[in-house]
Amino acid sequence: MKVFAPGKLVLTGAYAVLTGAPAIVVATSRGAVADGARTAAPTPEVRAALGTASAPHVDASSLFVGDRKLGLGASAAILVASLAVREGARGADLADPRVRRLIFERAREAHAASQSGGSGVDVAASVYGGVLEYVPGDPRIRALPAQTVLAVFACSTSARTSELRAFVDRLAEAAPSVHHACIADLTSIAEAAAKAVRAGEREAFVAAVRLAARALARLGASAGVAIVPEGFEALEALAAAEGAAFCVSGAGGGDVATYIGSKRPGPAFVERALALGLFEIDVALDEKGVRIFSQSAVSLGDAAIAGMVSTS
Are 32 and 116 part of one and the same domain? Answer: yes
Are 153 and 137 part of one and the same domain? Answer: no
Task: Using a pLDDT cut of 70, give the percent of the chain over it.
Answer: 94
Q: Could you give the CA distance from residue 289 to residue 17 in angstroms, rounded to a whole number?
A: 21
Are 14 and 113 part of one and the same domain? Answer: yes
In the predicted model, is pLDDT for residue 162 greater than 90? no
In the predicted model, is pLDDT for residue 7 greater than 90? yes
Average pLDDT, the chain: 92
260 φ/ψ angles, rounded to the nearest 5 degrees: -130, 120
In the predicted model, is pLDDT for residue 304 greater than 60? no
pLDDT at 52: 92
Number of domain units in the chain: 2
Are 121 and 216 part of one and the same domain? Answer: no
CA angle 137, 140, 146 (to 5 degrees): 145
In the predicted model, is pLDDT for residue 295 greater than 90? no
pLDDT at 158: 78
In the predicted model, is pLDDT for residue 311 greater than 80? no
Are 109 and 217 part of one and the same domain? Answer: no
262's torsion region: left (phi>0), alpha (psi -120 to 50) or beta?
Answer: alpha
Q: Which residues contact 111 (CB under 8 A, 6 or more apart)?
A: 45, 48, 75, 76, 79, 118, 120, 122, 123
CATH of the domain at 236: 3.30.70.890
Are 12 and 130 part of one and the same domain? Answer: yes
Model pLDDT for residues 202-229, shown as the tens digit of each residue: 999 999 999 999 999 999 999 999 999 9
Are 72 and 205 part of one and the same domain? Answer: no
Under DSSP, the state recorded for 9 is E
pLDDT at 286: 96
CATH of the domain at 101: 3.30.230.10
Look at residue 242 and tell me if it is in a domain. Answer: yes
Look at residue 308 and tell me if it is in a domain. Answer: no
In the predicted model, is pLDDT for residue 298 greater than 70? no
Look at residue 311 and tell me if it is in a domain. Answer: no
111-120, 156-165, 231-240: which range is least confident on average?
Answer: 156-165
In the predicted model, is pLDDT for residue 303 greater than 70? no
Are 6 and 51 part of one and the same domain? Answer: yes
Instruction: Give mean pLDDT, residues 224-239.
Output: 96
In the predicted model, is pLDDT for residue 296 greater than 60? no
Are 116 and 154 part of one and the same domain? Answer: no
Length of the chain in terms of residues written:
312
Are 208 and 97 part of one and the same domain? Answer: no
Look at residue 312 and tell me if it is in a domain. Answer: no
Helix (H) or strand (E) holding 210: helix 202-223
Look at residue 214 and tell me if it is in a domain. Answer: yes
In the predicted model, is pLDDT for residue 274 greater than 60? yes
Model pLDDT for residues 38-54, shown as the tens digit of each residue: 999 999 999 999 999 99
Look at residue 175 and tell me if it is in a domain. Answer: yes
In the predicted model, is pLDDT for residue 266 greater than 50? yes
Are 23 and 67 part of one and the same domain? Answer: yes
pLDDT at 306: 41
Contact 33, 27 (CB under 8 A): no
Look at residue 138 and tell me if it is in a domain. Answer: yes
Range of the domain at 290: 2-143+284-302
Look at residue 310 and tell me if it is in a domain. Answer: no
310 pLDDT tier (thresholds 50, 70, 90): low
Q: Could you give the CA distance from residue 70 to residue 56 in angstroms, rounded to a whole number?
A: 22
Measured CA distances, 123 to 118, 137, 232, 289, 293 (Å): 10, 10, 28, 11, 18
pLDDT at 228: 95
Are 81 and 170 part of one and the same domain? Answer: no
Model pLDDT for residues 84-117, shown as the tens digit of each residue: 999 999 999 999 999 999 999 999 999 999 988 8
